[in-house]
C-alpha cells in the first residue's frame, strides 16, 4: 500500500491525537533518512504505521500476536505499551500489505529497541521519541543529538528510558538493556 492510501486507512485504527503523532514520526523519520542516507520511503511507511495497534484493547493485541505471545513473559503479555509493537507488525502486514522485513522489524522494535539495530530501526526508534509534538524533559537534547549523531541520540534515549523505569521501579525489558549495551559499544567502544 502506498503512503497516500495508508494515510487514508490509518484513522480506522487509531485516535486523532495518535494520528498526529504518527504523521510527526513519519516526517521526522523522512528527515533523518535523508540525513543518514536511509531509504526515505521505508522510513515514512514505518513511521506512519509504527503505532497502528496502539489504541487496540489488550485482548485484541494478544490475539494478533498469539504465536509470539507464547514466548513472552507474563508481564509483557499484560502490557499494552509493550505488546502494541508486536501487534503493530502483524497489522501492518495483514491489513496494509507491508511485506518489507526491514519496515516490519522497525515497527516491532520501536518501543523496546534491541541489540544491533539497523539504520532504519534506529531512525524509527529515535523519531518516535523526538517528533515535534513530544514535549517531555530532555526531548530538546535528544532532538539536537538526533540531527548531529544518530548513535549518540540512541544512547541518550536508552539512558533516559532506563533511568525513568528504574526510578519508577518498573519492569525493564531485556531487549532494552541489550540495546543500551549494544549502542554503548558502538558509541564508546567500551572495554
Ligand atoms: Fe508505540
Ligand atoms: Fe509512537
Distance 30 CA to ligand 2 centre (A): 15
All residue ranges of the chain with pLDDT < 50 are: none
Distance 159 CA to ligand 2 centre (A): 18
Distance 68 CA to ligand 2 centre (A): 21
Q: Which of 184, 56, 48, 61 lies closest to 128, judged by CA?
A: 48
For residue 67, the model assigns a pLDDT of 77
The pair phi, psi for residue 5, each rounded to 5°, is: -70, -35
Distance 24 CA to ligand 2 centre (A): 9
Q: Which of 135, 117, 131, 128 lies closest to 176, judged by CA?
A: 117
For residue 190, the model assigns a pLDDT of 59
Distance 6 CA to ligand 2 centre (A): 16
Distance 191 CA to ligand 2 centre (A): 34
DSSP 55-89: TS-HHHHHHHTHHHHTTS-HHHHT-HHHHHHHHHH
DSSP letter (8 states) at residue 131: S
For residue 191, the model assigns a pLDDT of 55
Distance 126 CA to ligand 1 centre (A): 12
pLDDT single digits (tens) 15-65: 999 999 999 999 999 999 999 999 999 999 999 999 999 999 999 999 998
The pair phi, psi for residue 87, each rounded to 5°, is: -65, -35
Domain spans of the chain, in order of start? 3-135
Q: Which residue has the cell 541489540?
A: 115
Distance 21 CA to ligand 2 centre (A): 7
CA angle 115/34/103 to nearest 5° reads 45
Q: Which residue has the cell 508481564?
A: 75
The pair phi, psi for residue 128, each rounded to 5°, is: -60, -35
Distance 109 CA to ligand 2 centre (A): 11
CATH 1.25.40.10 is held by the domain 3-135:
no
96, 49 Cβ separation under 8 angstroms: yes
What ligand has the least distance to the C-alpha of 126? 2
Give the separation between CA 46 and CA 132, rounded to whole angstroms.
17
Run of H or E residues at 42: helix 40-49
Distance 191 CA to ligand 1 centre (A): 33
Give the separation between CA 86 and CA 50, rounded to whole angstroms.
10
For residue 72, the model assigns a pLDDT of 76
Give the separation between CA 94 and CA 13, rounded to whole angstroms.
13
Amino acid at each position: 500500500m502506498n503512503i497516500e492510501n495508508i494515510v487514508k486507512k490509518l484513522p480506522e485504527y487509531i485516535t486523532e491525537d495518535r494520528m498526529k503523532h504518527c504523521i510527526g514520526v513519519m516526517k521526522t523519520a523522512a528527515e533523518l533518512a535523508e540525513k543518514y542516507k536511509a531509504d526515505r520511503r521505508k522510513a515514512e511507511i514505518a513511521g506512519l504505521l509504527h503505532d497502528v495497534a496502539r489504541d487496540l484493547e489488550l485482548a485484541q493485541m494478544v490475539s494478533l500476536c498469539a504465536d509470539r505471545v507464547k514466548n513472552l513473559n507474563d508481564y509483557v503479555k499484560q502490557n499494552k505499551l509493550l505488546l502494541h509493537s508486536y501487534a503493530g507488525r502483524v497489522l501492518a502486514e495483514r491489513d496494509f500489505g507491508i511485506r518489507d522485513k526491514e519496515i516490519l522489524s522497525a515497527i516491532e522494535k520501536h518501543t523496546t529497541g534491541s541489540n544491533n539495530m539497523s539504520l532504519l530501526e534506529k531512525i524509527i526508534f529515535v523519531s518516535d521519541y523526538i517528533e515535534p509534538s513530544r514535549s517531555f524533559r530532555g526531548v530538546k537534547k535528544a532532538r539536537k543529538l538526533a540531527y548531529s549523531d544518530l548513535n549518540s541520540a540512541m544512547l541518550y534515549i536508552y539512558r533516559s528510558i532506563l533511568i525513568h523505569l528504574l526510578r519508577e521501579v518498573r519492569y525493564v525489558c531485556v531487549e532494552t538493556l541489550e540495546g543500551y549495551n549494544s549502542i554503548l559499544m558502538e558509541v564508546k567502544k567500551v572495554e
